[in-house]
Chains A and B, each alone.
Chain A
Amino acid sequence: MKKKTIFTMNSIYRDDFRITGYEFGSGEKSACIVGSTRGNEVQQVYICSQLVKHLKKLEAAGCIKKGKSILIIPTANHFSMNIGKRFWVSDNTDINRMFPGYNLGETTQRIAAGLFEKIQHYEYGIQFTSNYLSGVYIPHVRMMETGYETPELAMKFGLPYTVLRKPRPYDTTTLNYNWQIWETRAFSIYACETDYVENMTAEMCIEAVLRFLKETDLIDCETSDVPFPPKQISESQLVSVKASKAGILKRKVRIYDYVREGEVIAEVIDPYEGEVLEKIKSGVSGNVFFYNDNPLITANTIVFRIVPE
């Protein structure tokens, strides 16, 4: 293992800003794994730290394939993590909306450029990230349809779902999009939680990455069988269930749960008088893919997303 400094920048009031990477094996740039780019992506940095620990052991046991190198960057934004902020410490910009970056531009453009220079040209790029809809997801792989996407490869992670989505204008500056445009096969992994560590889903994601590295012939290791075959869906197939009233949200189901069409899956409660203002029913039968974890709900907000049967 080689611990490397990928990027540094000085600060006059704090320690230097450093992006740290861990390189395993040597030779061809085979796989690069990036953890959090935002300060609240705690589950994401945890997963990467565990992957570093696993690969350290595998490397010592001679299990990294000859001529292949794997780079892991647990976080590209520990400055925000240390102060409990999601976006960049001073100007509040999002590093994951600055790619491919610009080394003569603004601070976060420079960070993105410095990072991208070192993580470009890998065959596979895996990013642990989070969505602007805050809530809990079934762990899944997400790919943007850029014309370069490879959903069949995404199945090798063995996570329950691979979700394809059409990029919107604001997606064109994400790491995933730019990796793809520059010919890296890119995968974003949504690891259920964001702001705190959830062991079971973290284990699932760690296992998924090891499985992928094994299936693509980069490492030798034991991995468990996939309990049920992964499914590929497009984001437009997910059915949103919204609350039409505002108030306190009481959920009755969790991710993975099977719900029937017409079933009451949550209630909106009047925050002053305690009465049920609305019984929220699922519009389809299927499995709960996402739920909004905010206990207070604004009217017309998405509460669930369901994968129809």
Chain B
Amino acid sequence: MILKVASVDLPVDEELSIVKNRIQPDKLTGKEKRMSIVTGIHGDELEGQYVCYELVRRLEEDKSNLKGIVDVYPAINPLGIDTIQRGIPGFDLDMNRIFPGSKDGSMAEYFASKTVEDIKGSNLAMDIHASNIFLQEIPQIRINEISKDTLLPFARRANIDFIWVHSAATVLESTLAYSLNSVGTPTLVVEMGVGMRITKSYCDQLTDGIFVLLKDLGIWTGDVIEPKKSIESTDGSVHFLNAASSGIFVPEADHWMNVKIGEHIGDIVEPLTGKILQKIFSPCNGVIFTLREYPVVYEGSLVGRILERS
């Protein structure tokens, strides 16, 4: 059932809407649990598009096993996705920095507030992101440390590779996940893959994980996989690798690869002179969970993140 979450008239002959697909059993008892899957807040992150497709396809294919409600929101920022932009065209702020929004605010703030209102009350929500066009991420869930007690048990069932519990920061108080978590709707933030691409294997992996969560919640009675055991950031510290010079980054190591201290991660080179400007080595023994995808770097650009492990 396709439902309109919010809509607004654009200047010339067009209505812009956020829509969702509500998938539920044909007969309702009124006691159904609900899980919401949200994506497309950032218009350049597309991995969630395939997850939504695959999730809806599988649910519709075997609806007799559906005992609860699944709400799927593929595009919270439809104009961004349509126009290949991360943000909302013509609006300065990152959409994930304006939650919980406001009913009386601008179009973006209005959409933000309607989105929160609509998802609120779900037994579990998941906001799927896909890094950005610069960095490749392994399937991971990021958790603000203030909500780790509520979220870790869910995250461990999501069939993802890595759980990153990060410290609280004031700016993150305006994300969708923070807003929902603070009104008592447990919300997981997934980051995986890379911007402007679909990494099908990651999408299938996460979809399998969503079915595990649905089954745990009593929404799904079909067969599910045994979720993989995630590595957790509390197991070791996270090291950031930033470019010391502007240039072209050429990776030597592979994404999601174990590395030893001093191992060669990649080089920053200069095409004009044929020189290596910086050789990048691992500062620790660990695993590369973020690796730069987009070659052009400025001084400071992130080239990778390594989780230290012994």
Complex contacts, A94 vs chain B, CB 8 Å: 92
Given A12-B246, A132-B92: A170 in contact with B171 (beta carbons within 8 A)? yes
Bound Cα distance A168, B272 (Å): 46
Bound Cα distance A277, B106 (Å): 20
Say how far A77's CB is from chain B's closest CB, in angstroms: 13
A104, B110: Cβ atoms closer than 8 Å: no
Contact with A along B107-148 (1 / 0, CB 8 A): 100100000000000000000000010100000000000000
A298, B92: Cβ atoms closer than 8 Å: no
Is A10's beta carbon under 8 Å from chain B? yes
Query: Which of A263-298 touch B at CB < 8 Å?
Result: 271-272, 296-298
Partner of B107, one of A86, A90, A97, A301: A301
Bound Cα distance A298, B109 (Å): 13
Complex contacts, B170 vs chain A, CB 8 Å: 169, 172
Closest chain B residue, CB of each to CB of A130: B92
Partner of A132, one of B86, B91, B104, B110: B91
Is A5's beta carbon under 8 Å from chain B? no
Given A92-B86, A248-B11: A300 in contact with B97 (beta carbons within 8 A)? no
Bound Cα distance A133, B91 (Å): 8
Closest chain B residue, CB of each to CB of A91: B134
A168, B298: Cβ atoms closer than 8 Å: no
- Select the stretch in A45-53, A105-113, A208-216 that faces chain B: A105-113
Is A173's beta carbon under 8 Å from chain B? yes
Is B8's beta carbon under 8 Å from chain A? yes
Query: Which of A81-111 touch B at CB < 8 Å?
Result: 86, 90-92, 94, 97, 104-110
A105, B296: Cβ atoms closer than 8 Å: no
Partner of B13, one of A110, A132, A272, A301: A272
Say how far A75's CB is from chain B's closest CB, in angstroms: 18
Query: Which of B274-308 touch A at CB < 8 Å?
Result: 296, 298-302
Say how far A261's CB is from chain B's closest CB, in angstroms: 19
Say how far B248's CB is from chain A's closest CB, in angstroms: 8
Complex contacts, A58 vs chain B, CB 8 Å: none
Closest chain A residue, CB of each to CB of B174: A169
Bound Cα distance A271, B98 (Å): 31
Is A74's beta carbon under 8 Å from chain B? no
Complex contacts, A90 vs chain B, CB 8 Å: 296, 298, 301
Bound Cα distance A59, B89 (Å): 46
A170, B97: Cβ atoms closer than 8 Å: yes
B93, A170: Cβ atoms closer than 8 Å: yes
Complex contacts, B91 vs chain A, CB 8 Å: 132
Is A9's beta carbon under 8 Å from chain B? yes
Complex contacts, B132 vs chain A, CB 8 Å: 91
Which residues of chain B have a CB within 8 Å of any CB of chain A?
8-13, 86-87, 91-93, 97-98, 104, 106-107, 110, 132, 134, 170-174, 240, 242, 245-248, 270-272, 296, 298-302
Which residues of chain A have a CB within 8 Å of any CB of chain B?
9-12, 86, 90-92, 94, 97, 104-110, 132-133, 168-170, 172-173, 240, 242, 245-248, 271-272, 296-302
List 12 extra interface pairs beyond A169-B173, A170-B98, A299-B9, CB under 8 A: A10-B245, A10-B299, A12-B270, A12-B271, A91-B132, A106-B300, A108-B300, A109-B300, A173-B171, A247-B12, A297-B11, A301-B106
What are 30 A-B contacts defined by CB distance under 8 Å? A9-B298, A9-B299, A10-B245, A10-B299, A12-B246, A12-B248, A12-B270, A12-B271, A90-B298, A94-B92, A104-B240, A105-B242, A108-B300, A109-B300, A132-B93, A133-B106, A169-B170, A169-B171, A169-B174, A170-B97, A170-B174, A173-B171, A240-B104, A246-B8, A272-B12, A296-B12, A297-B11, A298-B8, A298-B10, A300-B8
